[in-house]
Every structure is written in structure tokens, then in C-alpha cells.
């Protein structure tokens, strides 16, 4: 193999190394999710415009695929996976090639001794390849690889936690939008109901069978209903904009979200006690797994810091060749030549003194490991509190969902009776308006109770870290 072929071969090897990320030869990037949605949304394929009506599944899917937070978490996983590749690459030899071409022009003119003069004009080429392979470093590379793997586990768990949080937030905002639209519909019904009462009271006042105060009280309640309707319209638009922003869409994108309905099935059954939930979540929640992986990475960093102050053993080798012209002596002709140089050996590097920096690096790594150990305990405490709070919220929301149905049924019956009595001329306007206000309040509470139950259910699943496609309801 001549010098040019040698250079081309090793230049090709270098090019392959630079493009290694394209085919992952060290298998460091295996298992990375194909989308920012991870295993929850393995395929991100959505139309340009949101569906009509917009379902919870689509809202969550668009959020997990397009929200900047989920995409940033996905990018962190890919970056750290590449970091694992870097750590694995430390076990392989380092090979470098060089080539140099020099146009050499050398003139030596010795006065009165032309025989000793020289005039050299040549193109000198030098090509070489060198190898450096770290054979042993007292566990430094192993610790670095453990650190990289632990950090990869951490960012994977962090991605899971981000997906769980984004899922829960999107669901909350979806239910909040359903609530706002349901309240808007209820406000419209109340406005129509109060308008009818106002017209009935005005008719009776005009006929002289009821005092003008009845008409004024009915008008007052109608204006209050109009006020509530205006606020409900504003709240609905705000909720729609928030939901659109979750999906990384412009806030003014038209969305068709159905209102909360009574078709929601309230489930009172809980397969596990809250104590079991807390015990399980402290072992499996993504945020706890992320903190635990960070601690393991910090422990590996201590070993890595120790190894940096210890000797290392490397295999070194080099081969080079050149066509440097040679001369037998001053004033003699130069001749074309081809030379080569090669060596192979073992290199031992022993750090003798570095200003006590190694000691401080070890102390720093130990302190960081202690900090991460405390972070694990804090993460367990936080998830336990989150599960407890969400569980109690769900219990209350379940009871209130049932209570709101009873309240709405009673309020509706009371309103029907009062309206019939008023239309028959035996009831007072105060009775009518009171039952009317109670019915309006019951409608709003029913809408809010159903949304609160859905929200609490998803919130508890998110705190448990088990949100997935089965929660698309």
C-alpha cells in the first residue's frame, strides 16, 4: 500500500467516525422513542386543522407531540444517548492519519566554490498514521460509562415524568374547556329562563294582577343572568385559547370542544388503598426514578474522579513514510529517496502532582452524591404527598358528582312547581325567583362537579405516573 492509499484508507475511517450517529455503530441510541410523545403516542400524525369535534385523545396527542416541553425532553434523551456513545467510544483505539505535501526550493550559492553550491527544487510528501489505545486506567472509563448510562436512565425517566405532566395538564385544560362550554350553555339556559320569567311578570304587572315590584325583581334577576352569560362567554374563549396553546397552536385557532354531559360514568371503586398507592409510587414514579438515576450517576462520578488521579496504560504505535530527497554531502547531487519510520510500544502515564486538584474533585463528587441522595428522598416525599392529595380530591369529587345530580333533580322539580304555581296565579314572584336562582346554581354545580371528577381521576393517574392511551376517555 503506497502513501496515498494509506491516507485515503484512514481518511475514510475518519469520515465514517464523524458520521457514526447516522447508523449508531456502538448501539448507544437504541430504544429512543420515534416521537416526542414516547410510548403514549408512538406515531404523531395529525391533520393541519384540529378535529371536529376535538376529542381528548387528539388534544393529548397533539400536546405530547408538539408541546415545546415534551420535545425538549425528547431532545435531552437523544443528547444523553449520544453521551453514552461517547463513553463507549473510550474503549476503542484512537487512530489518526496525516498527509503533508511541500514544494521545497533550496539554493546554496557558495562564492568562488561552485562545486559546493546546491540548487534543490522538489515536491516532498509525507504520510503517516498513528494509534493510541488506552488499555487500563483503574476503572476511569468504566465509571464514566456508568455515569453516562445512569444519566440516560435519568433523562428517560424525566421524559416520562414530562409526558405524564403534559398529559395531565392537557387533560385538565380539556376538561376546563368542557366545563367552560358547559357553563356557557347553562348560562344561556338560565338567561332564557329568566327572560321568560321577566316577560311573565311584566305581563301580570301590565294586567294589574301583580305589583310592579314583581316585574322589577324579575328584570333584576334577568340582568344578573345576562351578566353571568357575558362572563361565561369570556371564560369559554380563554379556556379554548389555553387548550390551543397546550397543543402548540395559535390561541385563536377555532376549536370544537363538546360540553360536559351527564354521560360520564362515576366509578366509586378503587382497586388499591391509598397506602398501597403511596408505597408503589415511591418505587416507580418517573420523578423518583429520575432522582435515583441521578444519584447513581453521582456515585459513578466519584469513582471517575478517583481514577483521574491514577496511572494509565496505553498502547501507542506510529507509521510514516516520506520521499525527502537525500544528498551524500555538501555540494553533492541530491537523489530521490523513500523513507519510512515505525514504532509500537506501551506508554505508562503517572500523574505525580497536580496541585491537589484530584482531592478536591473527589470531595466535590462526594458532596454532589450526597445532594442527589437527599433529592431521592425529597422526590419520594413529593410523590407521596401528591398521591395523598389527589386521592382525597378524587374521593370528594366522586361524592360531589353524586350529590350534584340529586341537587339538580330537586332544583328542577322545585322550579317546575314554582313556575306552575306562578302561572296559575297562586305563587309569588319571590318563590319563582328563588327556585329559579337555585336551579341556575344547581346546573352550574352539576357541570363543575362532573368536570372536577374527570379532572381528579386524571390527576391521580398522573400523580401515580400511569397515564397512557387507556386514559383517552
pLDDT (tens digit per residue) in 232-271: 999 999 999 999 999 999 999 999 999 887 655 666 555 5
The count of domains in the chain is 1
pTM value?
Answer: 0.81
* Pairwise CA distance, residues 366 & 275, whole Å: 34
Which pLDDT score is estimated for 58?
94
Q: Is residue 86 part of a domain?
A: yes
Q: Is residue 279 part of a domain?
A: yes
User: What cell does 295 get?
Assistant: 444519584
User: What cell does 236 get?
Assistant: 369559554
Backbone dihedral angles phi then psi of residue 468, each to the nearest 5 degrees: -160, -165
Q: Is residue 335 part of a domain?
A: no
* Pairwise CA distance, residues 355 & 180, whole Å: 66
Q: For residue 249, what is the DSSP state? A: -
What is the band of 15 on the pLDDT scale with cuts at 50, 70, 90? Answer: very low
- C-alpha torsion 290→294→300→305, nearest 10: 160
Nearest alpha-carbon partner for 157 in 83, 81, 84, 77: 77
Q: Is residue 339 part of a domain?
A: no
Cβ(126)–Cβ(320) below 8 Å: yes
User: What cell does 188 get?
Assistant: 344561556
Q: How far lies 219's CA from each of 215, 369, 434, 436, 444, in Å?
A: 6, 70, 14, 13, 21
Nearest alpha-carbon partner for 60 in 39, 37, 34, 76: 37
Q: Is residue 17 part of a domain?
A: no
What is the band of 188 on the pLDDT scale with cuts at 50, 70, 90? Answer: very high
Show Cβ contacts of residue 193 under 8 Å, excluding neighbours closer than 6 positions: 225, 415, 436, 439, 440
Q: What are all long-range contacts of 40-45, with beta carbons under 8 Å and residues at least 24 apart?
A: 40/64, 40/163, 40/167, 40/467, 40/468, 40/469, 41/65
Show Cβ contacts of residue 220 under 8 Å, excluding neighbours closer than 6 positions: none
Domain span at residue 276 reads 55-92+139-310+373-471
CATH code, 86:
1.20.1600.10
What is the band of 419 on the pLDDT scale with cuts at 50, 70, 90? Answer: confident
Find where cell 325567583 sits: 433
Q: Is residue 1 part of a domain?
A: no
Cβ(459)–Cβ(393) below 8 Å: yes
CB-facing half-sphere around the CA of 171: CA atoms within 13 A: 25
Which pLDDT score is estimated for 7?
40
Poorest-pLDDT segment among 15-29, 52-66, 205-219, 252-266: 15-29
Cβ(144)–Cβ(304) below 8 Å: yes
Cβ(365)–Cβ(298) below 8 Å: yes
Show Cβ contacts of residue 439 under 8 Å, excluding neighbours closer than 6 positions: 190, 193, 411, 412, 414, 415
pLDDT exceeds 60 at position 4? no
Q: Is residue 358 part of a domain?
A: no
* Pairwise CA distance, residues 255 & 233, whole Å: 14
Average confidence (pLDDT) over 354-376: 92
pLDDT exceeds 70 at position 151? yes
Which pLDDT score is estimated for 265?
60
What is the band of 155 on the pLDDT scale with cuts at 50, 70, 90? Answer: very high
> How do residues 292-343 score in pLDDT, each as one tens digit?
999 999 999 999 999 988 999 999 999 999 877 766 555 555 666 788 889 9
Poorest-pLDDT segment among 18-22, 111-115, 254-258, 380-384: 18-22
Q: How far lies 28's CA from each of 10, 17, 79, 149, 446, in Å?
A: 24, 14, 11, 9, 53
Cβ(125)–Cβ(323) below 8 Å: yes
Find where cell 374527570 sits: 454
pLDDT exceeds 50 at position 109? yes
Backbone dihedral angles phi then psi of residue 350, each to the nearest 5 degrees: -120, 110
Mean pLDDT of the chain: 87
Q: Is residue 251 part of a domain?
A: yes
Amino acid at each position: 500500500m503506497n502513501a496515498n492509499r494509506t491516507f485515503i484508507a484512514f481518511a475514510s475511517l475518519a469520515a465514517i467516525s464523524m458520521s457514526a450517529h447516522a447508523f449508531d455503530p456502538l448501539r448507544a441510541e437504541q430504544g429512543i422513542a420515534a416521537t416526542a410523545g414516547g410510548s403514549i403516542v408512538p406515531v404523531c400524525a395529525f391533520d393541519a386543522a384540529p378535529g371536529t369535534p376535538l376529542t381528548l385523545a387528539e388534544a393529548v396527542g397533539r400536546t405530547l407531540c408538539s408541546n415545546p416541553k415534551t420535545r425538549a425532553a425528547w431532545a435531552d434523551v437523544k443528547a444523553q444517548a449520544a453521551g453514552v456513545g461517547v463513553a463507549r467510544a473510550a474503549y476503542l483505539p484512537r487512530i489518526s492519519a496525516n498527509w503533508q505535501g511541500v514544494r521545497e526550493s533550496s539554493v546554496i550559492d557558495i562564492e568562488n566554490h561552485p562545486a559546493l553550491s546546491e540548487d534543490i527544487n522538489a515536491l516532498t510528501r509525507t504520510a503517516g498514521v498513528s494509534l493510541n489505545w488506552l488499555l487500563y486506567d483503574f476503572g476511569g472509563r468504566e465509571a464514566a460509562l456508568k455515569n453516562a448510562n445512569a444519566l440516560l436512565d435519568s433523562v428517560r425517566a424525566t421524559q416520562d415524568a414530562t409526558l405524564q405532566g403534559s398529559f395531565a395538564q392537557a387533560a385538565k385544560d380539556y376538561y376546563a374547556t368542557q366545563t367552560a362550554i358547559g357553563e356557557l350553555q347553562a348560562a344561556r339556559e338560565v338567561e332564557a329562563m329568566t327572560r321568560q320569567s321577566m316577560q311573565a311578570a311584566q305581563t301580570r304587572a301590565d294586567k294589574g294582577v301583580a305589583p310592579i315590584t314583581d316585574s322589577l325583581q324579575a328584570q333584576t334577576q334577568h340582568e344578573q343572568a345576562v351578566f353571568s352569560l357575558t362572563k361565561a362567554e369570556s371564560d369559554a374563549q380563554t379556556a379554548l385559547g389555553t387548550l390551543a396553546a397546550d397543543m402548540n397552536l395559535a390561541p385563536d385557532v377555532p376549536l370544537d370542544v363538546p360540553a360536559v354531559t351527564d354521560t360520564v360514568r362515576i366509578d366509586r371503586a378503587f382497586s388499591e388503598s391509598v397506602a398501597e398507592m403511596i408505597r408503589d409510587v415511591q418505587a416507580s414514579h418517573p420523578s423518583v426514578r429520575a432522582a435515583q438515576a441521578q444519584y447513581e450517576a453521582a456515585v459513578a462520578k466519584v469513582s471517575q474522579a478517583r481514577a483521574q488521579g491514577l496511572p494509565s496504560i496505553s498502547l501507542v504505535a506510529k507509521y510514516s513514510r516520506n520521499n525527502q530527497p537525500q544528498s551524500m554531502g555538501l555540494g553533492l547531487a541530491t537523489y530521490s529517496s523513500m523513507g519510512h519510520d515505525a514504532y509500537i510500544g506501551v506508554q505508562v502515564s503517572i500523574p505525580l502532582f497536580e496541585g491537589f486538584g484530584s482531592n478536591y474533585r473527589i470531595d466535590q463528587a462526594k458532596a454532589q452524591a450526597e445532594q442527589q441522595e437527599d433529592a431521592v428522598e425529597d422526590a419520594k416525599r413529593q410523590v407521596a404527598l401528591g398521591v395523598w392529595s389527589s386521592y382525597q380530591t378524587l374521593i370528594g369529587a366522586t361524592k360531589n358528582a353524586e350529590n350534584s345530580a340529586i341537587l339538580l333533580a330537586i332544583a328542577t322539580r322545585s322550579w317546575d312547581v314554582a313556575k306552575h304555581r306562578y302561572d296559575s296565579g297562586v305563587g309569588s314572584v319571590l318563590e319563582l325567583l328563588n327556585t329559579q336562582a337555585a336551579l341556575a346554581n344547581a346546573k352550574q354545580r352539576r357541570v363543575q362537579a362532573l368536570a372536577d371528577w374527570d379532572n381528579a381521576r386524571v390527576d391521580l393517574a398522573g400523580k401515580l405516573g400511569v397515564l397512557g392511551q387507556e386514559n383517552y376517555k
